Amino acid sequence: MTNNKLNFSPNRLRQLRKKHRFSQQFLSDLLGRLGLQVNQSTISRYETGKEIPEMPVLKAFTVILDTTVEYLQGRKV
């Protein structure tokens, strides 16, 4: 069985966040509005590759950052 959360591109997350001009804290706040408690330091760990987001968080990123799970996983250009 493939674990989708293992495929993740930290650079793509960081680039999309910056493209939208969101701070890590603002992104954290938006996730909170969707019912996901992810603090700013966790966003930082995602962007540095020290931690990999679970699928619910990845899916929330797609809504907030107008992208796809495949793109955040590095599978689609």
Taking the C-alpha atoms of residue 67 and residue 62, their distance in angstroms, rounded to an integer, is 5
Cβ neighbour number for residue 56 with a 10 Å cutoff: 14
Question: Distance between CA 42 and CA 76 in Å, rounded?
Answer: 24
pLDDT class for 2, splitting at 50, 70, 90? very low
Q: Is it the case that residue 3 has pLDDT exceeding 80?
A: no
pLDDT of residue 7: 85
Distance, CA of 35 to CA of 70 (rounded, Å): 22
Confidence bin at 1 (pLDDT 50/70/90): very low
Query: Would the pTM count as exceeding 0.85?
Result: yes
Whole-angstrom Cα distance, residue 46 to residue 42? 6
